[in-house]
Amino acid sequence: MRKLNEYNRPAVKVAFYFLIFGFFWILLSDKVLNYLVSDYNVREQMQTFKGWFFIVITALVIYFIVRTQIKMVVKLKNQLNESDYLYKQIVGLTHDVIWTLDKNGVITFINQASKRVYGFYPEEMIGKKINSFTNQDSNEKNKKLYFDYLKQGITSIKLETQFTNPVGKTIYLQDNVHTLLDEHGNVSKIIGSSKDITSIKLSEKKTNRNKSTT
């Protein structure tokens, strides 16, 4: 309803101005014409000119309104294209995996870092569930944590994911997950980033092994 009102407001405003203008034009112009011209035939001719004058003025006003609106739309479109370009450049250059999921966990976007981290190009992953690329144990653990946090109203969380890449190497990721909810409080979209922390996890395991042997 809010969006509908936002869309209608400019149109209602313009229509209201034309209504007021048309009302006073008809009311006042007729009175002025009757006052200035007493001859009936001349007055009839002037009525025709008056009507055409109103049409010309209306056409000019509509032209300038539409022209202004088009210029605003083009300007906003250019700004949006520029922002979209800069966003894609930033996302493309980052070493972290940036991704978005629909409410069912299906990947709708993932950047080029997926090839380096997951071993798959974006086009190989988009349209598939993200948990099809990670280990089952990791999926079950993170699924439980995710919904436990969500029940508490926490929509931004950190998770750790583990999977085996196509060449058989175990990869550890730290996922920053943010959930977008609709007006009913249901999941509408999930956006996040995944950072490769494999070297950190392997270093921790090595340290723990050394401690256990001493």
- Spatial neighbors of 120 by CB under 8 A, at least 6 apart, are 114, 133, 166
Low-confidence ranges of the chain (pLDDT < 50): 1, 3-4
Shared domain for 202 and 108, answered yes or no, is yes
* DSSP tag of 95: S
Domain span including residue 106: 95-210
Domain closes at, from 91, 126, 153? 91
Both 103 and 86 in one domain: the answer is no
Domain CATH for 160? 3.30.450.20
Judge if pTM exceeds 0.75: no
Q: Do 100 and 69 fall into the same domain?
A: no
Are 84 and 113 members of one domain? no
Is the separation of the CB atoms in 171 and 120 below 8 Å? Answer: no
pLDDT tens digits for range 48-78: 787 888 888 888 888 888 888 888 888 888 7
Check whether residue 113 and residue 179 sit in a common domain.
Answer: yes
Query: Is 87 in the same domain as 114?
Result: no
Looking at the structure of the chain, the number of domains it has is 2
**Distance between CA atoms of residues 58 and 64, nearest Å:** 10
Interval 92-116: pLDDT, tens: 667 899 999 999 999 999 999 999 9
In the chain, pLDDT over 90 holds for what percent of residues?
46
With vertex at residue 108, the alpha carbon angle to CA 106 and CA 114, rounded to the nearest 5 degrees, is 95
